[in-house]
């Protein structure tokens, strides 16, 4: 491709397809390598993340326009077609430019014959807009509204079903709410920064970066755009990149009422890659507490060490289910490994990699970690269970397991007061389920318990 922004996007799509790379890790390096900044970098980012996020919809259109399964199309040609179709359906790029740039890229990688094939496919796609393609390919809204919305907003059907089940389990039964959730999850998310307590306030950070203070977390700042890694407060360790919902979880652990005196022994049982551990460490430094952070993978443990450097945080490379740590903690966070369905908008390719079968093994692990956390907590102490997934099996299904709670000696406490006062809906409790379309956060779930 002659356009360096499109070329960076295409190379990123190839890395995602060929080696299972993460777009948000590959693209920044390519942008630096090509010295792309400003509008060019923004264009490359939009093309890359947009094409990854909409992959299922793009593939359905490509299959219909080509008469072939995407499995029968050579990888480099498929990458280029996804990029071209995305431009045609979801950007203001002129059809002529989108088609010509894509065809030339296919010719260069795969020959003139493949270029002719790509040209024919794209010309056919360009004859209709996205709404027309969705009307043609999606299930009828009258017969299967969830299936229709899943294709319209580029989600696998099973994930749309999981969102709908979770909404209903949390007392939200309007199909309009599902549509709003899927639409928000299909959009590029804003960047949330966290102001490190004791180092800088949210007001100060917002003034420096030209952002806006958050609606829920007292440490949150919404960044209007640009590369957060290039900001001086982030480079200097005064701030970090962290979803506002994630900030609320760490804060909730530190303010949940414990019985008796807080002895300052706090534990993050699932610490990698370290965002919540860093916020806990900053708050612990103010309160005179210390944090033990557990992470079984050495490379992720090193990330925790890096982000918590200078804070009262000690990292332990061990399995949280059998950590060997001395019991008696006042506060324990179980930010359990999960499907990540609540953070799909920040991981554009993830929704097409996950499978329903992933959930069963995760729920076993989540119960084991919650049980281990209870064993490490002193009587009267607090355990806070959290996931970045709204899936019912990973959330309500775990925290409402009465046999588990009885065996672990845990009593649920109303978690809603642990969120700063807000007019935004927090449900009937005792847990908190956040939503992108209602709260502007990832779909975080958390429930606090007291150890009996």
- Distance from C-alpha of 336 to C-alpha of 388, rounded to nearest angstrom: 8
Instruction: Check 388, 392, 432, 443 and give the catalytic one.
Output: 388
- Distance from C-alpha of 445 to C-alpha of 452, rounded to nearest angstrom: 23
List helix spans (H) across 130-240.
130-137, 145-152, 157-169, 175-185, 202-209, 232-235
Calculate the alpha carbon distances from 185 to 21, 160, 178 in Å.
Answer: 21, 11, 10
Q: Which residues share a beta bridge with 113?
A: none
Please enumerate, by residue number, every residue annotated as part of a binding site for S-adenosyl-L-methionine: 270-276, 295, 319, 335
List helix spans (H) across 258-413.
275-287, 298-307, 358-376, 396-399, 402-408
CB 439 within 8 A of CB 222: no
- Distance from C-alpha of 417 to C-alpha of 26, rounded to nearest angstrom: 40
Q: Which residues share a beta bridge with 332?
A: 267, 383
CB 147 within 8 A of CB 157: yes
Please enumerate, by residue number, every residue annotated as part of a binding site: 270-276, 295, 319, 335
Radius of gyration of the chain (CA): 23
CB 416 within 8 A of CB 366: no
388 is catalytic: yes
Catalytic residues: 388
């Amino acid at each position: 491709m002659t356009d360096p922004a499109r070329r960076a996007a295409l190379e990123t799509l190839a890395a995602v397809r060929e080696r299972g790379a993460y777009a948000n890790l590959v693209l920044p390096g390519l942008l630096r390598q090509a010295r792309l900044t400003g509008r060019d970098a923004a264009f490359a980012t939009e093309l890359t993340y947009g094409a990854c996020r909409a992959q299922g919809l793009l593939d359905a259109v490509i299959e219909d326009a080509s008469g072939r399964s995407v499995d029968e199309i050579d990888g480099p040609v498929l990458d280029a077609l996804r990029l071209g179709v995305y431009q045609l359906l979801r950007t203001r790029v002129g059809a002529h430019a989108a088609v010509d740039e894509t065809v030339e890229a296919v010719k260069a990688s795969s020959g003139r014959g493949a270029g002719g094939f790509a040209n024919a496919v794209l010309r056919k796609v360009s004859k209709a807009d996205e709404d027309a393609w969705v009307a043609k390919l999606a299930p009828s809204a009258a017969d299967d509204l969830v299936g229709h919305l899943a294709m319209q907003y580029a989600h696998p059907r099973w994930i749309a079903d999981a969102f709908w089940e979770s909404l209903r389990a949390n007392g939200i039964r309007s199909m309009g709410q599902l549509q709003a959730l899927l639409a928000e999850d299909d959009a590029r998310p804003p960047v949330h920064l966290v102001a490190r307590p004791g180092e800088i306030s949210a007001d100060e950070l917002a003034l420096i970066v030209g952002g806006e203070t958050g609606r829920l977390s007292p440490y949150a700042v919404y960044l209007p755009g640009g590369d957060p890694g290039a900001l001086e407060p982030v480079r200097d360790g005064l701030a970090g990149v962290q979803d506002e919902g994630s900030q609320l979880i760490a804060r909730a652990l530190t303010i949940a009422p414990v019985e008796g005196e807080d002895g300052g022994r706090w534990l993050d049982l699932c610490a990698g890659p370290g965002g919540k551990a860093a916020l806990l460490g900053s708050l612990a430094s103010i309160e005179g507490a210390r944090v033990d952070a557990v992470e079984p993978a050495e490379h992720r443990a090193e990330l925790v060490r890096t982000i918590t450097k200078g804070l009262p945080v000690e990292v332990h490379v061990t399995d949280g289910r059998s950590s060997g740590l001395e019991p008696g903690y006042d506060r324990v966070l179980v930010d359990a490994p999960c499907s990540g369905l609540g953070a799909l908008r920040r991981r554009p390719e993830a929704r097409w990699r996950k499978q329903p079968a992933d959930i069963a093994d995760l729920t076993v692990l989540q119960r084991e970690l919650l049980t281990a956390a209870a064993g490490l907590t002193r009587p009267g102490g607090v355990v806070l269970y959290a996931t970045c997934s709204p899936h019912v099996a990973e959330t309500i299904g775990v925290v409402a397991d009465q046999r588990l709670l009885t065996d672990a000696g845990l009593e649920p406490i109303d978690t809603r007061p642990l969120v700063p006062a807000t007019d935004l809906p927090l449900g009937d409790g005792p847990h908190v389920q956040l939503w992108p379309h209602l709260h502007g956060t990832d779909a975080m779930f958390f429930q606090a318990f007291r150890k009996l």
